[in-house]
Structure 1
Amino acid sequence: MPHIDRLNPYLLGPVTIRAPRMALLAYDAEPPLAEGEGEFEIVSEREFRYRMTGQPIDLKHSLRALNRQRNDPYNGQNRFRLVMTDADGREWSGGWTVPKVDTDGDQWVLTGASDSLSTRVDGPATGESGAESRFLIPRNHSASVIFRRFVRSDAEGGGSCAVRTIDVLGIPVRFAFDSETNVLSISAAHTPALPAHAAENWFGEPLRILFGQLVFPRLVERRFPDGRSMLWVRESPAWTSDSTWTALLSDDRLTNDSDFFDLYAGLLTLVSRDGGWESHTITTFYEEVIQSAQGSRWVMALTLASSIEGLARRLVPEGTLRTDADQAAIDSLVAHIEQWEGASRLRDAAKATVKRADAISVQRALYTLADERVGTKPQVTSWKKIRNSVMHGRLVSPYSSEEDDQIIIDLAGLLRALTREVARRALVSSLSSGAARNREILCIEHVPLIACNPTQS
């Protein structure tokens, strides 16, 4: 049984863990803020809370630590770490927190919110390491239909289920979908291209872009070769219909599994190659667009226009010259301007203008990409219209109209087209470099039900 299955009881809230031993830790080598007993509650998929009753080990130190955090709240290291031992003797970490402290009475009462729940599990050495992330997929969302069709998870047929494996950078990435609980599992072995500590987060980034939702893993396992595993229960934001229109994968592609997995592979390749700890820049664009869907139309227009500009610069980097650029002529004109003896600020402004005269602007880059069928010219025209107005403080009408709605639709379409092109280039680059020998490995593995059913305990 995979270690991560031990977390199945904590998949959904509310769940309460009673802890005979609980402590809030300060800096390393310092006494705890307080020790005692309490409860840790998984309130919902989006909220963790705790309540501890106890005493400070060193009152003077505890007061100093609390004041340290209050006086410098932007220093994350001034927060406290929640640790506890449950009634069965299992040790847990509740992550970072800033407690509310009630010092009235004989004992302190410390309450607050936490951002995760984690524990360590030991097992026999396997020599294998890797990562697995499990995601809650709402039943009423088209993503549920996609995974039922594309992963073809089926508990029938002699107690077995189907698993889909694709190739990303030459590495098998495994998808399993439990149609009973609507939990999606994505996993891969540890490699330099997909290191386990990063892949556990990377797996969700293409899903955020593809579905236009804040898709983050609910359960995570980081597996080590010596048999140890680190396990996490994490916050899983709610999916909302407000941001459905931001999805890269539109509803008319629900029968095209190759398109879905090509896009996923291209996006995961892009994310892994840049190798950041935080979300990839393109993922961040989508996170902002998704959240802007719950704001005003002006906020949506601003966010879409800025994200499009960022994606365009990904495809045509700043400083790229036109094909008809004449560098010798530019240098000659700059030299001529330098001889002018007028005001230096005017001379410098003229030089700067000449130097970038043959550089490809974002607008020209978008029209060039449209000529290559990456987006359309009407979409670029809508971007030009909205960008030049919203970036200079002109408000967008808060009311819906055919003309204004079409502009938003054009901007969303252009964002999708640019993202698809970025993903396509990343996938083509990985194939041409030999990182993946096959365009896609499509295989159905028949494994015991317990291995692909995330809720089987």
Structure 2
Amino acid sequence: MIKEGNFMMFLSNFPEKYVGKSFEIDCVDVEIHGFDDHQPPIFKGPGVIRGDQAGRFSYKIYNQTPVNKEIFNYLKAVRESKDPKKVNLRLFAKAYDGIEWAGGWSIPNFDDFSSQPYILLHGEIDSLSTRVKKLHGDQTKDSTELVFADNIQLPLSGTVKIHHLHNEEVIRTSWKGDHQNINFEGIPMIFQKSFNETRLHVIAEHGEKFTPPFIENWITEALIFVTARVIQPRMVIRHFSDDALVFIRATPKDTRSQIPSVLSLVSNDTEAFWSLFTAYLSKCKVEQRFELLDITRGFYELCLASKGTLQGFLTSLSVYIEFCIDQIFSSEKSTDEHKEKVQKLIEFVGTWECDDGIRSRAKSILAMLNKPAISGRLNILIRQSVISPAHKKSWNETRHFLAHGNIIDYSREEEFGQYRNYLISMMYRLILRIIGYKGQALDYDGEKFIIAPYQWSDET
């Protein structure tokens, strides 16, 4: 809860006010600081901060500081320097409702001031944050809350009963899924849709090796994978005992992709969906990384590439599949004896003196022998039931065709469209193997996508 003017505003009102809608924050005072925010502000004055349903935030500041030497030097640095320490500025604002916001880094734009003593600043920032003091009535603590503005379709087993009234008479009763409680390794989590279904709230309690700021990234990563969408939370609230940190962040305006989600054909299979979600979340927890996992970063890029051309998507997909294969065999290392033999071969070729350019290229190619042939790895994955021979054939045909600089023409779009479907299925199978998941998963039978049992073994 926070004091806002002469009345009290619960912390739970922040999502209603700032998420899933356009908003405007009128500020009685805005300070723009340089790289060292302990120094006096370079610019200062009233202003306004605006945000839409998604995207970045814009600001406008009516600077009240007359143009002086420091301002003139800064304007000169913007034109001449690319050093972030010299040109990046940070925004601090006090709103009329009493909330104090800290903004992200920005390089503002300036209106022409040649004949005026003051400057009008405007620009964009990626984030806003504030610390909220809690009062006794707010019982949420030691947890992190993510608020998504998208209407994310998730299988929710918890239902709410709705009475439809005519005057005061109940004429119809219906139910809809609006929440899901899950237990992740002993840690309670709840997924809750807002009443108007414009927001999804995810609240996770903190636990051992499951703490902020990591968990807000891990939960987002798992949701990106299970939904095949480039989603990001619009708001994150880190609830502590006596206060909370509130972040509003820039989000993509279009989160859709052309990749079917791994369980898209079984939207009502609640158990399978949440089993897959927790498997991916567990992988994030084991890795204990703040930045995205490599498999998540690659999958995110694929979601973006899927909205482009077939050629570009297949290029990205085939490369990402090779990366996933390397991840599965990451513990496999060439023996010292093998490396020694390869090195002797490289040294032998190095004695060839006919052409320096050819010799250098040959040595580079031979160095690749230190890495096991991917064909052998694919055969192992087939024996382990991770992939099928059809997956291997589709990957070989696609990878080799594109690697030699060929362009997919209209006459082969249907053929490569089928390769695309096989490779999407192959990609999912490899990722599921990396995170250790067994169960229902998306597959391709040569004609259509299906959901099939996915069981693999470690036998070689």
TM-score for both structures, normalised by structure 2: 0.78
SS in 2 for 1:408: helix
Aligned pairs for 1:388-407 (under 5 A) are 388-397=400-409, 401-407=413-419
Query: Matches of 2:35 and 2:367 in 1, distance apart?
Result: 56
SS at structure 2 position matched to 1:181: coil
- Counterpart contact for 1:54–1:107, Cα < 8 Å: yes
Alpha-carbon contact 1:375-1:417 (below 8 Å) kept: yes
Q: 1:391 to 1:59 in 2, by over 3 A?
A: farther
Report the secondary structure of 2:51's partner residue: strand
Shift of residue 58, structure 1, vs aligned partner = 7.0
- Over 3 Å counting, the alpha-carbon distance change for 1:289 and 1:334 in structure 2 is closer
Q: Is the 8 A contact 1:18 1:38 kept in 2?
A: yes
Distance verdict in 2 for CA 1:31–1:330, change over 3 Å: closer
Question: Cα distance 1:155–1:107, how it changes in 2: closer, same or farther (>3 A)?
Answer: farther
**Distance (whole Å) between structure 1 residues aligned to residue 183 and residue 90 of structure 2:** 39
Aligned ranges 1:340-355 → 2 under 5 Å = 342-343=351-352, 353=366
1:309–1:231 distance in 2 versus 1, CA, 3 Å? same
1:19 aligns with 2:27: yes
Whole-Å separation in 1 of the counterparts to 2:70 and 2:205: 45
Is 2:50–2:58's contact at 8 Å kept on the other side of the alignment? yes
Distance (Å, rounded) in 2 between the aligned partners of 1:252 and 1:260: 11
Separation (CA, whole Å) in 2 of partners of 1:370 and 1:211: 27
Q: Is the 8 A contact 1:292 1:303 kept in 2?
A: yes
Q: Are 1:284 and 2:331 an aligned pair? A: no
Aligned to 2:122: 111
Structure with greater helix share of residues = 1
How many pairs does the alignment contain? Answer: 412
Alpha-carbon shift at residue 292 of structure 1 (Å): 0.6
Higher relative contact order (CA 8 A, sep 6+): 1
Aligned AA for 1:230?
A: L
Determine the C-alpha separation between the residues in 2 that align with 1:337 and 1:219. 55
Alignment of 1:251-400 (within 5 A): 251-317=264-330, 319-320=332-333, 342-343=351-352, 353=366, 356=369, 360-397=372-409
Query: What is residue 220 of structure 1 aligned with on the other side?
Result: 236
Does 2:199 match 1:191? no
The 1:74–1:285 alpha-carbon spacing in structure 2 relative to 1, beyond 3 Å, is farther
Cα contact 1:337–1:347 (8 A) shared by 2: no
1:87 to partner: Cα distance: 1.3
SS at match of 1:383: helix
Query: Residue deviations 1:21-44, cap 9 Å, x none?
Result: 112111223321211111111133
Deviates more, 1:177-186 or 1:33-42: 177-186
Whether contact under 8 Å (1:155, 1:161) holds in the other structure is: no
Q: CA deviation at 1:89?
A: 1.6
Bigger mean CA offset, 286-295 vs 26-35: 26-35
- The answer as to whether partners of 1:4 and 1:220 remain within 8 angstroms in 2 is no
Paired residue type of 1:405: G
Report the CA distance shift for 1:160/1:263 in structure 2 as closer, same or farther (over 3 A).
Answer: closer
Residue 203 (structure 1) aligned with residue 219 (structure 2): yes
Q: Deviations over 1:166-203 (max 9, x none)?
A: 33344333322335324222222223422211212221
Give the Cα separation in 1 of the matches to 2:275 and 2:67.
Answer: 58
Report if aligned partners of 2:382, 2:389 keep a CA contact under 8 Å in 1.
yes
Q: Which deviates more from structure 2 when the two are superposed, residues 40-49 or residues 391-400?
A: 391-400
Letter in 2 for 1:98: I
Q: Deviations over 1:344-375 (max 9, x none)?
A: 89699689849947x53333223321222212
1:231 maps to 2:246: yes
Percent identity over paired residues: 21
- Report if the CA contact (8 A) 1:282-1:311 is conserved: yes
Higher alpha-carbon deviation: 69-78 or 199-208? 69-78
Q: What is the rounded CA distance, in whole Å, between the counterparts of 1:99 and 1:330 in structure 2?
A: 55
Match of 2:43 among 34, 45, 51: 34
> Is contact 1:39-1:50 (8 Å) kept?
yes
Q: Secondary structure at the match of 2:52?
A: strand
Offset of 1:411 from its aligned partner?
1.3
1:228-254 C-alpha deviation (Å, 9 max, x unpaired): 11112222323455x2425333x2221
Question: For 1:341 and 1:205, how far apart are their aligned partners in 2?
Answer: 47
Distance of 2:68 and 2:145 partners within structure 1 = 42
CA distance in 2, matches of 1:94, 1:416: 38
The answer to whether the Cα contact below 8 Å between 2:221 and 2:296 also exists between their aligned partners in 1 is yes
Q: What's the offset of the Cα at 1:320?
A: 3.7
Q: Distance in 2 between matches of 1:154 and 1:191?
A: 29
SS at 2:312's partner residue? helix
In the superposition, relative to structure 1, how do residues 5 and 419 fare at CA in structure 2: closer, same or farther (>3 Å)?
farther
Name the CA distance, whole Å, in 2 between partners of 1:355 and 1:406.
31
Task: Report Cα offsets for 1:87-140 as digits up to 9, x if no partner.
Answer: 1221112322211012423421101112122221001587942211011233xx
Which range is displaced more, 176-185 or 198-207? 176-185
Q: Give the aligned CA root-mean-square deviation in angstroms.
A: 3.6
Distance verdict in 2 for CA 1:397–1:391, change over 3 Å = same
Query: Is the CA contact (8 Å cut-off) linking 1:196 and 1:223 kept in structure 2?
Result: no
Q: Structure 1 stretches of 5 or more lacking a match? A: 428-457
Q: What is the CA deviation profile of residues 314-364 of structure 1, one whole-angstrom value per residue up to 9, with x for unaligned ones?
A: 11127545xxx8x7687578669968994389699689849947x533332
Cα distance change on mapping 1:350 and 1:393 into 2, 3 Å:
closer
1:167 corresponds to 2:173: no
CA distance in 1, matches of 2:133, 2:279: 35
Indicate the residue corresponding to 2:262 in structure 1.
248
Alpha-carbon distance in 1 for matches of 2:297, 2:344: 42
In structure 2, C-alpha distance between the alignment counterparts of 1:108 and 1:6, rounded to whole Å? 32
Between the aligned partners of 1:174 and 1:280, the Cα distance in structure 2 is 24
TM-score calculated relative to the size of structure 1:
0.79
